[in-house]
Every structure is written in structure tokens, then in C-alpha cells.
Structure 1
């Protein structure tokens, strides 16, 4: 099933959520349709108009937002007063402001982490979830990304490159980038950081140079969150185990950012979940096979909720 055509958002605004943060929020689709909130990845990835295309605009009230320090939210790339509990509380403020009783969650990568954390805290507000490219934010999952024992073994040249940029610093890769992202050349190091993840996601790295706002947000937020174990008080699998919320999980078997075992582990603890393994699918939601699987997953979940 093809993606739905691009449509303009019909309402966009900034919502103050405290601590000097303002969230960028937009709505599109049918104001009387089933509410769905899209949780972007990263942390720091920001929303995109492409994310509206997974939903039938006649059937869904589509809500996109940029999390604290991401995308068009203000202040740009801020890590102050920025943790998972802040993001969960922000979602409640958005839901309350929009006068929504319950909504569907649609999250990818870090958006899965946030969706699960929100569903654990506010299960009565969740109709169901579509989760893509599962990231559980366990130590082993971060080690896969940022130590020599994980994805580095598959992409040794690119792993050398992301390390070489901060070779004169001490500590782990996260420690070294935290130091350099706090300096005057933050955008240059943001480009190096994001190029490593781009390679794992099946995208071409960009030439060395200063990164744009999106790269700066991604690098700043990821380093901030992962140095703090995602600000998760309880492991997600333990926290959400046994939930009977209807869940559709979509995961590519060529996902080198978030290996498939994370989706399998989540599926095992959620008795009302369906796991779709996408042959040849990468981490990116724009991968054709992943995108089509997501459209189908949204359709199935809507039908399941309707029953």
C-alpha cells in the first residue's frame, strides 16, 4: 500500500511547557478523526512533513511535534531541563491542550523509547501503538552503537572516522563528543557524529564541515541522553511487560542502528503485539518496504482499536 499524498498542516503553534521550553506542534488531517501523535527519533531528530503520509487524512487527526531541544522547538538544541520524564510530561500537556482524551502513539527508534515510557506512565490515555525500529535504550543497545564491540565491526572504516575526529580527547566516545559539542566547533563535531548514524541507517555520509540545525540537535540530544542511560528509572522491558494495549511492531532485518533482537524482545513481553519483520528493511522510515509496512500497520491497528 502506497503512502498517502503530502498534505499541508491545518494548524501549527508553539506551546510553552515550562523551563523556558516551547514545543512546536502541528495538526493535519480530519479534526474529528482518530487522534495520533507522532514521536520522532533521535533524541533530537525532529518531525518531518513526510511523517503525515502514513495516515489516511480522512480517518486520522494527525499531531506532529518537536520534542524539547529538537526541530523547531525552542530553544534550539537545549539540553537544560531535558529528560525522558520532561518529554512524557510535555506529551500530557499537548494532549490536554488539544482536548484529547485518548490517542494512538506512532513512534520510531527513540520515538519507541518515548512511546513506551509514556504508555507506562499514562496507559489509560493510549489507544494503541505503532512502533518502528525498536530502541530499548539498554546499555547493550548503546554499546552496540558506540563501542568497538558492536556495529563498529560491520563498518570499521566509518567507525575509525567517527573516533578519529575526537582522538585527542579522553574517555568513551560519548564522553569525547560531549566535550567537543560544548565548544566553539560544535557544528563540525555534530556532522561527524551524525555521519556515523547515517551510515548505519543506510544513508550516505555528508562531507566534513559544519552541521546544520538538525544535525546539531541530534548530536547534542543523543549524547546528553545516552550519557544518562536515557533517563530511565526502570528498564523498559520490565516496565511495560504484560501490557495488553494493542501494538503493531515494524522492524527491518537489515536495521544496523537498532538490531532486530530489540523488536523480538519487546514482542515477547507484550501479549497483544504483532511483529512484522521487513525483509531487507533498514532503520529509516523512508525505506520503501518499511514505509509500506507502516501504512499497513496503522490500518490494522485502527481496525483493532475499532473492535
Structure 2
């Protein structure tokens, strides 16, 4: 279903502060429709496979690694790493590439950041294509990291919390944050592996070994776990329910939402609430899928949507 593999035709490092430099790239047709891909996590980093969701003859495909992850530097850095910083980084990339406005594509935390960027820079967003909606409300964090998903993937949840002493399990995000910011490298690594494995083992309707094995990559798991936990313990540095409170700003933007019915990481409720709050949006529920964009039904629908996007704008 995916388009053929392609390589970037332009890439670089953008200094966004005296501390941080972020990796960016673009591929496909430089004169095509500009689309920004926002990766998940936070701390997940971009992937070459994301390019394959867009017809390279029709799209100018832009990706970047958010602060502290992927090829951005310094690796796993938490200082000057907030939602506000990431939004401003996106704007700096747009200005660097001299793109007037663009389509935005994001899943999981990428959907969160896409929505926040569109709220704050509405005039720069032509459309939103979102997958695995995460609104980062407190009950969503509790569901996945404390109690909820634990009742479905019980064996994996026990592995996740096993690195935390019994007397600290009443608030697992706090307990992990303490260890992920520890000076004890062994303690930090153990916590990072456990945190990352938990998400990787629950991302598919049927768990995949190749996903679970990502947790054993020290470089990936350290930035993924540390940055995620850093954002979540700080409620992504925004007021509770920020997105739905500001949803009216998106009424003029076409929004497509693709959601796996059995997504345990970012449950269906968030996509449903977003669709209800934004009646102009279109919700596509994939009944035989979990969280990952690589689930067959999700991949198929996303490609259908990007093809429709290319066709609709080429006819204007």
C-alpha cells in the first residue's frame, strides 16, 4: 500500500537556541503540496517510513526530529524542551524553507502537537490529517500509565511497574520521572527500558516483537522515556484540556481523524470527543486496529486521505 522508499533531497540542522539544534529534511517534489509530518512520543523521532504515506510526485514532504530526540542535539536533553519551544521550532522550519502555509500530518503525540500548532498558527495550516488522537488530559495519562490499559495488557503492565518499589506505585509517572532523571546510569537505563517496552508492547492490536524490541535500543529508549515522562509530569506545559478549550479556532480547517477502535495507548474516547467538539471534522474508525499507523487498516485509510488531499488541492 505504501509508496516506494525515497531519500531526502534536502536536509540539515537548524540551531533553534544556543543549546538545541534540530534535524530537518524534505523529500518528494519541492514544487508539490507542502506537508509537515509531526512524529509521536514526545521523544520518538521521525522515521523514513513516514515519507511513504505521500505520493512523492505530488508532495513536498517535510520532517523533523523534535528537541532531544532522533538526530537532534543534544540527545535526551530536557532543558528548554517544552511544548512552547516545539511550536516555535515548527515555525522556524516553515520560515527557513520559505513555505507560506502547509498541510499538517501527525499521530499520537504528533496529533497533539499538530492541533496545538494549528490553534496557535491557524493561518499557516491548510488541513490536518490526524491519527491516534491524544489530547493529553489527565485521565488519558492515568488510563495508560496508572490504571486502565493495565487491565488489558496485564502481563506487560506488571513488567512495566516491576522496576518501581511497591510503596511508590501509587503514582507511576512520578516514580519513573525520579529514575529517568537520576544520575545513576544503571537506574536510568532500567527505567527507560521498562517505560519504552510498555508503550511498544501495547501499540498494536496484536503485539509485534519488532516493536517491543525497540525498547532494548538504549539510545532510543533513553530519549523516548525521559522526554515523554518530562512532558507528562508537566502536563505538556499547558492548562488542562487546552485543545478542546480552544477548538473553535480550527473551525475553518479541514480535519480528518483516523482512529483504531482498539487503540489502548490513545483510546477511542479522545478521537470521539475531538470529533464531537469539531463537527466539521471527519472521523474514520478502523474496527480491526490498535494504535500504530502501521496497522493495515490505518495505513490504508491514511494513504486514501493523502491521495484525496493531493487530488482536491490540484483541482483548485
| Bin for the TM-score computed over the shorter chain | over 0.9
Gaps of at least 5 residues in structure 1 are none
Q: Is the 8 A contact 1:47 1:65 kept in 2?
A: yes
Call closer, same or farther: CA 1:63–1:181 in 2, change over 3 Å: same
Q: Show the counterpart of 1:191.
A: 193
Q: Show the counterpart of 1:271.
A: 279
Bigger shift: residues 153-162 or 80-89: 153-162
Q: Show the counterpart of 1:104.
A: 103
Q: Is the 8 A contact 1:188 1:211 kept in 2?
A: no
Query: What is the CA-CA distance between 1:182 and the residue it aligns to?
Result: 2.0
Q: Is the 8 A contact 2:192 2:222 kept in 1?
A: yes
Deviation sequence 1:39-61 (CA, Å, 0-9, x none): 00000010000000000001000
Query: What is the CA-CA distance between 1:304 and the residue it aligns to?
Result: 4.4
Query: What is the CA-CA distance between 1:70 and the residue it aligns to?
Result: 1.3
How many Å separate the matches in 2 of 1:146 and 1:206?
Answer: 17
Call closer, same or farther: CA 1:210–1:3 in 2, change over 3 Å: closer
Alignment of 1:1-307 (within 5 A): 2-148=1-147, 150-167=148-165, 170=168, 172-183=171-182, 184-185=185-186, 186-202=188-204, 203-204=208-209, 206=212, 211-233=217-239, 235-241=242-248, 243-305=251-313, 307=316
Deviation sequence 1:1-28 (CA, Å, 0-9, x none): x110001111110000114110100110
Q: Is the 8 A contact 1:101 1:125 kept in 2?
A: yes
3-state DSSP class of the match of 1:222? helix
How many Å separate the matches in 2 of 1:218 and 1:93?
Answer: 23
3-state DSSP class of the match of 2:246? helix
How many Å separate the matches in 2 of 1:297 and 1:253?
Answer: 18
Q: Is the 8 A contact 2:14 2:23 kept in 1?
A: yes
TM-score, normalisation: structure 1: 0.94
3-state DSSP class of the match of 2:75? coil
Query: What is the CA-CA distance between 1:301 and the residue it aligns to?
Result: 3.0
How many Å separate the matches in 2 of 1:44 and 1:207?
Answer: 17
TM-score, normalisation: structure 2: 0.92
Call closer, same or farther: CA 1:168–1:208 in 2, change over 3 Å: farther
3-state DSSP class of the match of 2:37? strand
3-state DSSP class of the match of 1:18? coil
Call closer, same or farther: CA 1:273–1:169 in 2, change over 3 Å: same
How many Å separate the matches in 1 of 2:97 and 2:215?
Answer: 41
Q: Identify, as 1 or 2, the structure richer in helix.
A: 2
